[in-house]
Amino acid sequence: MKRIVILISGRGSNMQALLDANLPCQVAAVISNRADAQGLEIAGRKGIETAVISHKDFADRAAFDSALAAIIDRFAPDLVVLAGFMRILTAGFVERYRGKLINIHPSLLPAYPGIDTHQRAIQDGIKIHGCTVHFVTPDLDHGPIIIQAAVPVLRDDTPQSLSARVLCEEHRIYPQAVRWLCRNQVWLDEIGRVASDRLEQPGAALISPGLE
Ligand code: GAR
């Protein structure tokens, strides 16, 4: 069975969705860069090994990333899953885990990389927003896409209400992506594209606002 390590920085709701999804893998550890991450407690309660490594204890990104990699490698994971891990990673770290490092981002990439995605989406007046699971590359929030979910942006949405709608879909697509990867039904090919041999249902069209 494949082994995964999950990296978090805070609440850990995506991590929890992964832990609750009965995935065909062993969650070897949950690692946080913040000691106060709520997700650590959730993982601990489920009997999963946890570790904390604070970026504040290191002089620069490269030093933090190599210490982080040393901890990750102790668990010999097949997959490293970023679940709300709010650190920018160095190219060296990303290359080390090529094809094994995935992230979830709260927008339909390549739209809205970075932070405050829901607020920016509302400000721009877009009608369809969503979330993306992708392989991580050195280019922040721009890696090859594995799966996306779209949601409507409603007339009276606030960043909070939109974020809640997107988060529900994050909790559905992240376990699906990890399941595909654990079953070798999705992988990153030699030229950096997502290849697949998976059995998905066709998705439906989303029109927003709806037709009369
Ligand atoms: C999630 O919405 C995730 O997509 C986002 O942080 C939140 C973490 O919530 N990640 C990023 O913005 C990464 N660029 P969680 O800790 O409850 O899973």
What's the pLDDT tens digit per position in 87-130?
A: 999 999 999 999 999 999 999 999 999 999 999 999 999 999 99
CA distance readout (Å), 91 to 65, 70, 73, 138, 145: 10, 16, 17, 5, 18
Distance from C-alpha of 14 to C-alpha of 27, rounded to nearest angstrom:
13
pLDDT in tens, 135-172: 999 998 999 999 999 999 999 999 999 999 999 999 99
Ligand 1 mean position, distance from CA 64 (Å): 21
| CATH number of residue 102's parent domain | 3.40.50.170
Distance from C-alpha of 203 to C-alpha of 212, rounded to nearest angstrom:
22
Distance from C-alpha of 146 to C-alpha of 201, rounded to nearest angstrom:
15
Closest-lying ligand 1 atom to the alpha carbon of residue 170? 4
Report yes or no on 201 lying in a domain: no
* Residue bearing the CA closest to ligand 1, atom 5: 84
Interstrand relation of 50-52 and 79-82 (parallel, antiparallel or unpaired): unpaired
User: Among residues 86, 105, 93, 102, which one has the least CA distance to residue 23?
Assistant: 102
- pTM exceeds 0.95 for this model: yes
Domain count, the chain: 1
Catalytic residue numbers read 105
84 CB under 6 A from ligand 1? yes
Report yes or no on 202 lying in a domain: no
